[in-house]
Amino acid sequence: MSLPRQPGVPHPRLPLPEGQLEDLAAFQQWLSDAIPMVSGLGISEMTRQGDSLIWQLALGPNLNDKGTGFGGALTAQTTLQGWCWVTLWLRERGIARDVVVAEARQRFLAPVTSDYRLVCTPAVSEGPTQLANKLAERGKGRIALTQQLYCGETLCLEANGSYAVLSER
């Protein structure tokens, strides 16, 4: 159990994986320590498939007054998942940098009525290559990502965000 977070005090970075695949369970535990609200979001599983980051989530912790998914919680999850996608992408390349969300928007398409999955992918297939080039050229860069939330096969929410990788301090 870690100590409570203090405002204005950065959380220590998770050591970069050395020549091995990221332990997503350890990353999720670090994430819960670094961002206290994460432990209440109902993330039950985090996996990677190609350029996709996939989360399985429980509806229970994210209910609204109508018994469906609370839009604010779903929005937080999409924003956080994009941040995680970029952070994990950097970590795979041995890069420890700060990532921030620059822009985010959501479109709610159907109510979330059961446990669900959230899938994050680059908005364009060239996105990761473009980000790598910007980092090499300028030491910073941005990438656009899309998050899609599914209940079964029903697309309930689609989000888009732009995430910035900051220059080294």
Structural domains of the chain in order of their starting residue, each with its CATH number: 24-165 (3.10.129.10)
Output Rg (C-alpha) for the chain, integer angstroms. 16
Q: How far apart are CA 43 and CA 63, in angstroms?
A: 14
Residue 49 has φ and ψ, to the nearest 5°, of -140, 105
Tell me if 96 sits within 8 A of 30, measured CB to CB: no
Q: What is the pTM of this model?
A: 0.95
Per-residue pLDDT of the chain (169 residues), as tens digits, is 456 778 889 899 998 988 778 999 999 999 999 999 999 999 999 999 999 999 999 999 999 999 999 999 999 999 999 999 999 999 999 999 999 999 999 999 999 999 999 999 999 999 999 999 999 999 999 999 999 999 999 999 999 999 999 998 7
Token pair belonging to 78: 């999409």
**Which residue type, as a one-letter code, is found at position 169?**
R
